[in-house]
Chains A and B, each alone.
Chain A
Amino acid sequence: MELLSNLSFGFGVALTLQNLGACLVGALLGTAIGVLPGIGPVATISLLLPLTFGMSSTTAIIMLAGIYYGAQYGGSTTSILMNLPGEVSSVITALDGYQMARNGQAGPALAVAALGSFFAGSVATLLVAASGPLLTAVALSFGPADYFSLMFLGLIVSAVLTEGNVLKSIAMMVAGVGLGLVGTDVQTGQQRFTFGIPELSDGIGFAPMAMGMFGVAEIIRNLEMPEVRDALKTKITRLWLNVEEWKRVAGPVLRATALGSVVGILPGGGAALASMGAYTLERRISRNKHLFGKGAIEGVAAPESANNAAAQTSFIPLLTLGIPANAVMALMVGALIIQGIQPGPRMIEAQPELFWGLIASMWVGNLMLVVINLPLIGMWVRLLKVPYDLMYPAILVFCVIGVYSLNNNTFDVFVTVVFGFLGYLFSKIGCPPAPMLIGFVLGPMMEEHLRRAMLLSRGDPMVFVERPISASLLGLALLAVIAMALPSIRRGKDQALAS
């Protein structure tokens, strides 16, 4: 019953006018960027970091979270109507969603996407609420060695699960760890790799790096690709499901919710992987196998439910252990640290209004998103008519002003330029930027835990395999590497992630 009282406390926080507003703004923005191809949640959240300075930490996180799960809703709209996925996690939805739209079933497809997402989001939110305090209790028994191994596992799994060459992902991550060490060493005060530049003594800015690699580089990549944007040809009728459709989607939605919730918790998991997994599962076990790819409603229900479930549960490692599971969560760490909050197992106790308020707001936000997405669908489709040549200068201007206003310092603008160039270069040589961002956030934390662990063990590295928690975490990391080295699994992953 403690859960209930905590939840009602959370709703008390989430339903204040200010937080409701933040939630709505986040959900609206998330839907918008979900609809628009070429700008994703990572770029948007880093763009909006400066906007959150004046807010309380709870309000800030509520808004940023809304952007992330809002994007999962918005991404489905254009996948279904135009075969134009706005987000990676909606690529799979386009397979059957677009076919349904061509068969004149755009209405039910959109309805099942929104309702499935809502159901999955609600269940996953409850899961976050229930597991948060439990996991926190476990996390408090962790020693520095266990923490180090946990972060190591997180890094390895997220690198292994990223699209493309595993070695390159791991190298990007290690490079990120290295970049994270730039600045003043916390224990000795020594300046590392700062070249005497005062701005670097606090380390490389997190927002400039993220914005450069995900915002600016993305603009350049979009510019070089020819614009393909079809006007909406299908008419949307009957934005609801009939009895037969309800029956067909019930099973897929339930299974996808369960699968998505699990995948979301995994480091490196997250929405995109969840939607692929759920679709593959349904295609294998559904009674309507033969319809998949030709407009099966199950093929829309499953990925859309799964990606939203995963978007919610990927908050679990962040809120309980302070470890980001994916690039968006790495940004959340950045946002919390800017607010002066160190994410970790003590956060629920120290910041109850943040934890429970966020959970309650997720549910409220999901409810808002159903309303935002179903009756207002026409508005979002019209958003696609804004030509890119008007949109990218606007994004760029927001980027530079946002970065500048972080510290009122033009140095950050130039750091963004450098990472914009690097992000573009990385895309040309097949190096994914997301692991670098995660490594960058985890690098300093890993160093601290490594130092503490080695100090406690008097310099004996065996501490990492002698402690049972640490040893099992390292074992899991090893398993992940071995599993991915097996060609059959690697092929499966590449297929699933091919977008």
Chain B
Amino acid sequence: MRLKPDAQSIFAGLMFMAFAAVMLWLNTDHPIGTARRMGPGYMPMLAFWILGGLGVAILAGGLFSGPDPIGRFAWRDLGLILAAMVVFGLLVERLGFVVSISLCVVVASLAEKRVRPLRIAGLVAFLLALCWVLFIWYLDIRIPVFPWSR
């Protein structure tokens, strides 16, 4: 068989193997027990050994099934969307609902190729109103609204 590496499968295989290895190492803290009386470490041991084996098989298969390159990562979109969520997570309890949602929407909107400030401002206003009605008024979730309302 000719070697035709498939980057997707090789990466996936390595990922599963690494994950299994880390978890198996962490699992050494848990008593395995016996097959009759399984300890907390028994099922993780089974699952992660199988996962490691599957990782090896995927990696080995990936050496011949290519070429299947990994597509480019949209780092900008990825980063901004995740950053928007992190911003919300960090600020919601400190500065409240209004500030954290506004910033979350603004950061997420930056992922669009053409940034239109007025449009984003409108969206922020609309979403604040909608979320207030839905989550604060209707569902009554415990979340501070303004930075000073704690």
Chain B: CB-nearest residue to A427: B71
For A190, what are the chain B residues with a Cβ–Cβ distance below 8 Å?
Answer: 30-31, 39-40
Q: Is A1 an interface residue (CB 8 A)?
A: no
Other-chain contact of A420, B19, B81, B92 (Cβ < 8 Å): B81
For A224, what are the chain B residues with a Cβ–Cβ distance below 8 Å?
Answer: 74, 77
> Size of chain B's interface in residues, with CB distance under 8 A?
67
Contact B16 A171 (CB under 8 A): yes
Q: Is B125 an interface residue (CB 8 A)?
A: no
Contact A397 B104 (CB under 8 A): yes
Contact A178 B38 (CB under 8 A): no
CB-contacts of B1-43 with A (<8 A): 8-9, 11-12, 15-16, 19-20, 23, 26-27, 30-31, 34-43
When A171-B16, A174-B50, A393-B127 are in contact, do A414 and B86 touch as well, CB less than 8 Å?
A: yes
For A401, what are the chain B residues with a Cβ–Cβ distance below 8 Å?
Answer: 88, 101, 131, 135, 141, 143
Q: How far is the CB of A473 from chain B (nearest CB, A)?
A: 18
When A167-B58, A430-B8 are in contact, do A396 and B77 touch as well, CB less than 8 Å?
A: no
Other-chain contact of B70, A171, A174, A399, A429 (Cβ < 8 Å): A429
For A461, what are the chain B residues with a Cβ–Cβ distance below 8 Å?
Answer: 35
Chain A: CB-nearest residue to B97: A401
CB within 8 Å: A-B pair count: 183
Give B58-91 as 1s and 0s: 1 = Cβ < 8 Å from A's Cβ atoms.
Answer: 1001000000101101100110011011101110
Other-chain contact of A168, B9, B23, B81, B143 (Cβ < 8 Å): B9
Other-chain contact of A424, B15, B19, B78, B108 (Cβ < 8 Å): B78
For A168, what are the chain B residues with a Cβ–Cβ distance below 8 Å?
Answer: 9, 12, 58
Contact B36 A459 (CB under 8 A): yes
When A190-B40, A451-B38 are in contact, do A404 and B71 touch as well, CB less than 8 Å?
A: no
Contact A174 B82 (CB under 8 A): no
Other-chain contact of B111, A223, A404, A428 (Cβ < 8 Å): A223
When A174-B51, A181-B43, A181-B47 are in contact, do A428 and B71 touch as well, CB less than 8 Å?
A: yes
When A174-B54, A450-B38, A455-B37 are in contact, do A216 and B43 touch as well, CB less than 8 Å?
A: no
Among A420, A428, A446: residue with most chain B CB under 10 A: A428
Contact B54 A447 (CB under 8 A): no
CB-contacts of A443-471 with B (<8 A): 443, 446-447, 450-451, 454-455, 458-459, 461
Docked complex Cα distance between A73 and B150 (Å): 45
Contact A181 B44 (CB under 8 A): yes
Contact B143 A404 (CB under 8 A): yes
Chain B: CB-nearest residue to A225: B74
| Chain B contact residues, CB within 8 Å of chain A | 8-9, 11-12, 15-16, 19-20, 23, 26-27, 30-31, 34-44, 47-48, 50-51, 54-55, 57-58, 61, 68, 70-71, 73-74, 77-78, 81-82, 84-86, 88-90, 92-93, 101, 104-105, 108-109, 111-112, 119, 123, 127, 130-131, 135, 139, 141-143
Q: List 8 A-B contacts (CB under 8 A).
A: A50-B139, A171-B55, A171-B58, A174-B47, A190-B30, A223-B81, A397-B101, A459-B37
